[in-house]
Amino acid sequence: MVKRSKGSSKNTILVEFKAPKELVESFDLRSKANYSSRSEALRALMRSFVEETSERSRNPVKRS
Q: What is the pLDDT of residues 13-30, one digit of tens each?
A: 999 999 999 999 999 999
Angle between helix axes 21-31 and 38-58 (nearest 10 degrees) is: 90
Residue 44 is predicted with a pLDDT of 97
**34 secondary structure, DSSP code:** T
Query: Between 20 and 58, whose confidence is greater?
Result: 20
Confidence label for 43 from pLDDT (cuts 50, 70 and 90): very high
pLDDT at 4 > cutoff 60: no
**59 secondary structure, DSSP code:** S
Note the pTM of the prediction, 2 decimals.
0.71
